[in-house]
Chain A
Amino acid sequence: MRILDVDYSNFRRKKMKRSGQIKIQQMAFVLVALMLFFAFVFLIYFTFKISNVEDSVTTLKEEEAQELVRKLSGSAEFSFSAEDCSNCVDFDKVLILSERRNYEDFWGLDYLEIQKIYPNSEISGKECTRQNYPDCESLKIIDNSGDRGIASGAFVSLCRWESDKGGYFKCEIGRVLASGEGIGK
């Protein structure tokens, strides 16, 4: 006759060990879930934050371009100083300026153009070069990006020296257009 000797204490220990393992697994799952939750929260927060920062950078650059374009006629490279004239741009000087590469990053702009508005009936669309100057409509000084967003503008007087009738300074109506760095991107 065989006597079955069953060790119940070992069985209980194994059962307890298994239930402990399940609890650890549960906690590990909870921890992973918590980590994922926080990761998502941070991800959403940073996405929101970065878009906010990008917006404020664009706004600041737009503001900078607007302020700059209003005061550009007073800056040394543009000002017409041969006579006392507020808001006058020296067109002769600006033509030379457009040929100089050193000024590309100077104002923090991606786009800077001078347009002649009046009179321009016969010269519409012509870009200024030394050959066709002053019978031309526009002069690009900076053109760094294809997409320039909405350019800020300001009206100015475009003044230059004319040699006819013994020589005099002639002023026409023009506009300065500028777009901040990276706005169109």
Chain B
Amino acid sequence: MSFAMIFSIIVGAVIIFFAIYATTRLVDTERNQQDTEIGKELGILLTPIETNLESAKAVKLTMPSETRIYNDCSKLSEETFGNQKISVATKSGVGKDWTNPGVPSSFHNKYIFSSDVSEGKNFEIFTKPLEMPFKIADLTFLWSEQEKFCFVNAPREIETEVLDLGLEGIEVSTKIENCSLESKKVCFTKSGCDVDVDVNSKSVKKKKRTETVFYEGPLIYGAILSEPGRYECQVQRLFARASELASIYAGKSSLLSVKGCGSERLQPLLGTYSNQTFSVENTIELREIYLLSEDIRRQNENLGCRLF
């Protein structure tokens, strides 16, 4: 075999190897880029479903293919309001079924409560405002068609809400035996289920987990859907925003008090509320915050020029 022949075989092989390698890398990069875009679009899509005067909203989200939605929350160490991070991985018929998720998209003004990773083609999204005593933010609850929940002996208002909104994936039952086999059992009156909710102490404990988390109002759905660590992180972010809002309302009350509104008497309470919510270390503090918020709500209702 001549030298030219050997040389061209070696060079040809090297070129083919690099071409295959480059194509594989390009496909991966393309997939990553696409997943990153989908993640950002998903975040943008969540904006129109935020509430205005509504008490709750529910929508169904259908993705073009099987998708994994990664929900991450970063705390407040560097930024005042923390971060909601959303990343997405889509299932592909080429190469590996699942690859790493795309670059996470960050949002300061969103609060998503879901499993750390939700997988499926169809997702259920449900939003509800958190008001303590003023509106703090819209809470977004997300789960996939593969995640099923069965609420056993849920309080009347939760049962009504679930049925009225037609939330798929959540069954409501009075007996645990009536729940479908694949569903996660969420018990409100007894313990030993997948998720135990104590409506008296307003706490939620999950099976095989040692942590107990506390809730107020619509945060109950977040405590049921999210992992305890993620839930605590979101609650911290929410109340950091509540602290800022309280300062804004305190500013508004001083602005209006000049006009003879009489709102200045709310200022000390709003100051206390702002300090208390600034850094919520544990969800057990929610009870105290709630009581203070009720006090503020009552005083605000007595004003001629209500602050909120």
Contact = CB atoms under 8 A, between A and B. Distances in A.
Q: Using C-beta atoms within 8 Å of the partner chain, give the interface range for chain A.
A: 35 or more
A125 interface: no
A108 interface: yes
Interface stretch (B166-174, B178-186, B199-207, B249-257): B249-257
Interface string A74-107: 1111010110111100101101110110110111
B94 interface: no
A105 to B, nearest CB: 7
A73 B134 contact: no
Contact of A93 (B53, B241, B252, B305): B252
B274 to A, nearest CB: 12
A106 B81 contact: yes
A93 B248 contact: yes
Given A67-B48, A71-B47, A92-B256, A76 B108 contact: no
Contacts of A63: 41, 44
B208 interface: no
B47 A68 contact: yes
A156 to B, nearest CB: 11
Contact of B241 (A56, A76, A82, A87): A76
Contacts of B41: 60, 63
Given A63-B44, A93-B248, A108-B107, A74 B51 contact: yes
A86 B52 contact: yes
Q: Determine which residue in A31, A76, A97 has the highest number of CB atoms from chain B within 10 A of its CB, and name it.
A: A76
A44 interface: no
A81 B33 contact: no
Nearest to B4: A23
Contacts of A71: 47-48, 50, 52
Interface in A8-45: 20, 23, 27, 31, 34
A11 to B, nearest CB: 21
B136 A76 contact: yes
A99 B251 contact: yes
Interface in B87-118: 107-109
Contact of A105 (B43, B79, B138): B79
Contact of B135 (A34, A76, A161, A167): A76
B82 to A, nearest CB: 11
Nearest to B263: A161
Interface residues of B, number: 46
Nearest to B137: A76
A70 interface: yes
Nearest to A83: B306
Interface in B52-74: 52-53
A69 to B, nearest CB: 10
A56 B308 contact: no
Given A76-B137, A100-B247, A82 B109 contact: no
A143 interface: no
B147 interface: no
Contacts of B260: 163, 167
Contact of B52 (A31, A74, A97): A74
Nearest to A76: B135
A172 interface: no
Given A31-B11, A75-B109, A96-B248, 8 more contacts: A23-B4, A64-B47, A74-B51, A81-B308, A82-B306, A105-B79, A163-B260, A167-B304
28 contacts: A63-B44, A64-B44, A70-B47, A71-B47, A71-B50, A74-B50, A74-B51, A75-B50, A79-B52, A79-B135, A81-B135, A82-B305, A85-B53, A86-B52, A90-B252, A92-B252, A92-B256, A102-B81, A102-B244, A105-B79, A105-B108, A106-B109, A107-B109, A108-B107, A163-B261, A163-B305, A167-B260, A167-B305
- For the complex of A and B, 3 pairs with smallest distance between CB atoms: A96-B251, A74-B52, A163-B259
